[in-house]
Amino acid sequence: MANLLLLFVLLINFYTLGSARLVACIRAVALQGALLALLPLAIHGPTGHALLLGVGALLFKGIFIPLLLLRTIREVRIRRDVEPFIGFVPTLILGLLVTAGAFIFADFLPLAHEHHEGLFVPTALATMFCGFLMLITRRKAITQVLGYLMLENGIFVFAVLLSAAMPLMVEAGILLDLLVGVFVMGIVLNQISREFSSLNTERLTALKE
Amino acid sequence: MIGRIALQLAVLLIFAPLPLGVINKTKALFAGRIGPPVLQPYYDLARLWRKGFVISRTTTWVFLAGPVVGLVVPLLAALLLPFGGLPAPISFSGDLILFVYLFGLSRFFTAVAALDTGSSFEGMGAAREVTFSCLAEPTLLFALLVLARGAKSLNLGALFGPQLAGQWQGDASASLGLILVCLFVVLLVENSRIPFDDPNTHLELTMVHEVMVLDHSGPALGMVLYGATMKLMVMSALLVGIALPLRTGSLLLDLLVFLAGILSLAVLIGVVESTMARLQLPRVPQVLVGTTLLSIFALVLVLR
Amino acid sequence: MLLFLILFPLVGAGIALILPWYQGRSWLLPLCAGLHLLLACLILLDPGPLGPWLGLDALSRLVLIVTSLLYLGCAVYAVGYLNQRRDRGNKVIVPCLLIFLAAMTLAISARHLGLLWMAVEATTISSAPLIYYNRNRLSIEATWKYLLLCSVGIGLAMLGMLFIAYAALVGGVTPVSLQFDSLLNSATLLSTPWLHGGFVFLLVGFGTKMGLAPLHSWKPDAYGEAPGMVGALLAGGLTSVAFLAILRAVQLMTAAGDGDMARQALLGMGLLSMLVAGIFMVRQPDIKRLLAYSSVEHMGILAIGVGIGGLATFGAMLHLVNNALTKGCLFLSAGNIQRAYDSKKLAKVHGAIATLPISGSVFLAGFLAITGSPPFGPFMSEFTILRGIFGSGHLWIGLLVLFMLAVVFIGMGATALTATQGEAVQLETDFKDSFLLVISPIVFLLIILVLGVYLPEPLQRALREAANLLEVTP
């Protein structure tokens, strides 16, 4: 069950890397967050900690954050992304190379015995790299926010392995931070679009030296 | 041996036009029409066989070679593939490569026959069709490689052996699921269905496969149609073989399950055709590269 | 008591949101800041034991008192500043500043790494609207870069923490926890490759927040476009908090016996920071960006100090104090100059001493202080660090540091002298050096002057305790 969820997470990575429709990308990252919310339940069973964490993550990552982002793009009135710096198809190929690399690299890491053959560590690494890829190669500010969310999703996968180390309060705090962070980013995005009439970050190059 | 070949070919020849009828009926029902009867392709074939040839003066023997090769190749390919409980009559190591490239051969002859007419529309359609198939080819090969890795053999018949059921329940199930999706996309591309090509369009500028066979008539057109239905059936057999690795032991029951699988796949194709719109032409290479990457990913998963 | 210290600024923020009185909101800032400093001093007299979540060890105590003092100065300045900027309003900036104070205090007193992460991320989020106060194109750009870079950096820091927890898992430590004291106790059991990986990511993540090169690219933009007091708080307070977070990682590595690797990494990044800062400070036409690069340089000096170890660590702790207060003084006076000239570029700013006697001279004195001229405090701390470097035999590093300090002095001097010297200019704005706007920079300058001549005994003890905390080996 956990492996199936992780597989879907990886597929969503590819989908988001290759898609130009912003609403689809936002929904995909939201779905990724929601699937990851089910992950602690799939591994540790319905304990109180896992249940609260799952419900919290589902609410925040699956509902509130996408709502914020959808509202932002509605106010900013853009629906499509432009061609990334290296093109969609090369981005997808890079994403695949990075995923394959993550699988190979995870086999070299000195993991704890029970994590060796699983999909957890490769998925975490692959999602983080794909998030980075989106952050770096996309031009519109809002897809950069989506890249950041994907990066956080990847880190979350790794954190699920260590849920003993992360008490509930800290996890709740992290989710809250993420929500407020995206909220502030949404406000800044709004201001960017109002000033520059576009969310293209290539316009944000006035400050140099 | 002869008996097995004959039985395999009989199943193919008799049942091949049926999936096409089912697809058309599904599309009609989705559109709220009653649509043509499910056995309509049989009547079409019978009608076309009775008509005469009309052959353009600019063509040569190549023009007629296209439909003939298009008819023969699916027959040969079917001999390499197990149909339900029937094992593949002809089987040797490496025959999965022959399987893929037999279809390449038929595509080559269809394209050359199209170019032979000297018409610009047909040349355009040939170019597009060949490009799409080029991009779909790696997907097909990688998907077959995933199966070959599981069966540890390059024999097409062995890929559908008893180990397949075990793989579905084990950890290769994710890869198998992924390659099923990829093979379905390849099925749609190779048989020129929506979202890659519209089989019902009458505008030559939008045709990809239909325009290549525009100039054929009478029995030649009948051969083209029959060949196309047999190609659809053979490729569906590949998919159904992966999706339904059941073996009850009774030949008749296995065959019935197999045919039920083929017909449900035909219904699925009909549903996909009714619910999706045709993709923009520049998007098709992107989608095909995406499926290639998916199948490579499935291979990576299985190689761990 | 500590919990109250962290939470009451949030109450203040809530009051500021609902209070309809403009001046009242502004005065809320020094009120809360004064209460914060008072409570901090009371707590320092009797720190209490280190709890599982919150606690103040020697390092935290030092950073807390410095941050609190800096915040009070900036809060007093803020009243005068906000009075001048009524057009922009203070409904957003005051609550954000108070939340920023609460987040910084939480980060300083956190004993659980997850809580530390939360608090540092909260400081990023609460300081973004502060940078955006001026609401023009350049500040939007600066805010966006700051927000994205720092959030990604802190995400990497979280990964580093998870690696450290994994090190505990692989090392067989039960229960696996990110509670800092339990990590220190079981440091020798932690799996080495995961610990190293975690340290690297923590260094990169919190180094982004601190502004060490090559992760400093947001600093010139953010400090350049933010209002003066925000720049002071970021340069003096937030960097100290981020440095504290990095020092926790160094503490852990030292307790695990791998302190050398940690120190070398810090040394490398510190030298790179000084180099980059020196290069960009030469011919810098913007006085606030100049100060931002100066901040990068001093973060480099701090990193070098801890990287060398021994006496240099003591010097680095002293430098933490000196740097924070001097940056406060510089940014506040630069803010005054910018308000007066309505520009921060050298094209329009010259003759500051003649036009604005107090702010201009304070700026010049601050420049002399930050570049390490005696009799100011930074001279003492940099001298101590250099003594430590040469004393431990790193001849070439010491010479390089001296060379970079000279380059920085020349580069910064060219800009600062051009800005301050010259004849009086007829100002287009009606800005005057009011009491509230200059008292804080002057007080900071006086403190720095005192520290340069005489180091009081309690402060010496506190610095030594803090330095010793970093040297604890298994």
Q: What pLDDT digit, counting tens, does each position of B37-67 carry?
A: 999 999 999 999 999 888 888 888 988 888 9
> A209 falls in which pLDDT band (50, 70, 90)?
low
Nearest chain A CA: its distance from B300 CA (Å): 7
User: What residue type is assigned to position B22 of the chain?
Assistant: V
A129 in contact with chain C, both atoms CB, cutoff 8 A: no
Nearest by CB to residue A89, choosing from B171, B174, B286, is B286
Residue C385 belongs to what domain range?
258-474
User: Is the pLDDT reported for residue B19 higher than 70?
Assistant: yes
* For helices C113-131 and C239-255, angle between their N-to-C axes, nearest 10 degrees: 160
Cβ separation C140–A191 shorter than 8 A: yes
User: pLDDT per residue over B117-165, tens digit each?
Assistant: 888 888 888 888 899 988 899 999 999 998 888 888 888 888 887 778 7
Q: Structural domain of residue A61, as residue ranges? A: 2-207
The yes-or-no verdict on residue A45 having pLDDT over 70 is yes
Residue C11 to chain A, least CA–CA distance (Å): 18
For chain A, positions 9-48, list CB contacts with chain C under 8 A.
none
- Which of C124, C125, C194 to probe the A interface (max A CBs under 10 A)? C125
Strand, helix or coil for residue B203: coil
Residue C286 β-bridge partners: C345
In chain B, how many domains are there? 1
Q: Does residue C49 lie within any of the structural domains?
A: no
Q: How confident is the model at residue C452 (pLDDT cuts 50, 70, 90)?
A: confident
Q: Please provide residue C285's backbone torsions phi and psi, each rounded to the nearest 5 degrees.
A: -85, -5
In the predicted model, is pLDDT for residue A80 greater than 80? no
**What is the count of structural domains for chain A?**
1
Verify whether the Cβ–Cβ distance B290 to A3 is below 8 Å.
no
Q: Tell me, what DSSP letter sits at residue B88?
A: P
d(CA B69, CA B246): 33
Range of the domain at B268: 2-303
Cβ separation of A18 and B174 shorter than 8 Å? no
- pLDDT per residue as tens digits for the range C75-96: 999 888 888 888 887 788 889 9
Backbone phi, then psi, for B239, in 5-degree steps?
Answer: -65, -45
Average pLDDT over every residue of C185-211: 88
Read off the tokens for B245. Answer: 């690795």
CA dihedral B169, B170, B172, B173 (to 10 degrees): 30
Q: Which residues of C touch A209 (CB under 8 A)?
A: 280, 284, 289
**Contacts of residue B285 in chain A, CB cutoff 8 Å?**
89
Q: Are the C-beta atoms of residues C234 and C222 closer than 8 Å to each other?
A: yes
What angle separates helix A141-161 from helix A65-76, to the nearest 10 degrees? 170
- Tally A–C CB contacts below 8 A: 119
Predicted confidence (pLDDT) at residue C64 exceeds the cutoff of 70: yes
Q: What are the φ/ψ torsions at residue B167 (nearest 5 degrees)?
A: -65, -35
**Contact list, C135 vs chain A (CB under 8 Å):** 191
What's residue A65's pLDDT? 86
Closest approach of C118 to chain A, Cα-based (Å): 6
Tell me which residue in A112, A135, A204 faces C144 most closely, judged by beta carbons.
A204
Please name the residue of chain A whose CA is at the shortest distance from the CA of residue B302. A103
ipTM: 0.88
Q: How far is B283 from chain A (nearest CA, A)?
A: 11
Does the beta-carbon distance from A192 to C140 stay under 8 Å?
yes
Residues of C in contact with A167 (CB under 8 A): 114
User: For residues A74 and A69, what is the distance between their CA atoms, to the nearest angstrom?
Assistant: 9
Whether residues A180 and C125 touch (CB distance < 8 A) is answered with yes
Confidence of residue B235 (pLDDT cuts 50, 70, 90): very high
Residue C424 above 70 pLDDT? yes
Average pLDDT over residues B97-103: 90
Listed by number, the residues of chain A in 103-122 with a beta carbon closer than 8 Å to a beta carbon of chain B are 103, 107, 117
Alpha carbon distance C60, C31 (integer Å): 23
C101 located within any domain: no
Q: What is the pLDDT of residue B186?
A: 92
Residues of chain C found within 8 Å of residue A111, distances taken between Cβ atoms: 170
CB C73 within 8 A of CB C332: yes
Distance CA C113, CA C137 (A): 36
Name every chain A residue with its beta carbon within 8 A of the beta carbon of B298: none
How distant is the Cα of B249 from the closest Cα of chain A, in angstroms? Answer: 32
From CA C163, how far away is CA C167, in angstroms rounded?
6
Q: Select from B175, B300, B302 the residue whose CB has the most chain A CBs within 10 Å, as the one to mutate to test that interface.
A: B300
Residue-level pLDDT at B24: 92
Residues of chain A with Cβ-Cβ distance to C162 below 8 Å are 155, 158-159, 162, 165
Is residue B137 within 8 Å of residue B105, measured between CB atoms? no
User: What total number of domains does chain C contain?
Assistant: 1
Q: Which of A192, A135, A199, A183 is nearest to C138 (CA)?
A: A192
Q: Nearest by CB to C112, which of A111, A170, A196?
A: A170
Cβ-defined contact of A184 to C176 (cutoff 8 Å): no
Phi and psi of C290, rounded to 5°?
-55, -45
Task: Give the pLDDT score at C296.
Answer: 93
Task: Report yes or no: A106 at the C interface, CB cutoff 8 Å.
Answer: no
Q: Do chains C and B touch (3 or more CB pairs under 8 A)?
A: no
Which one of B174, B285, B289 has the shortest CB-CB distance to A7?
B174
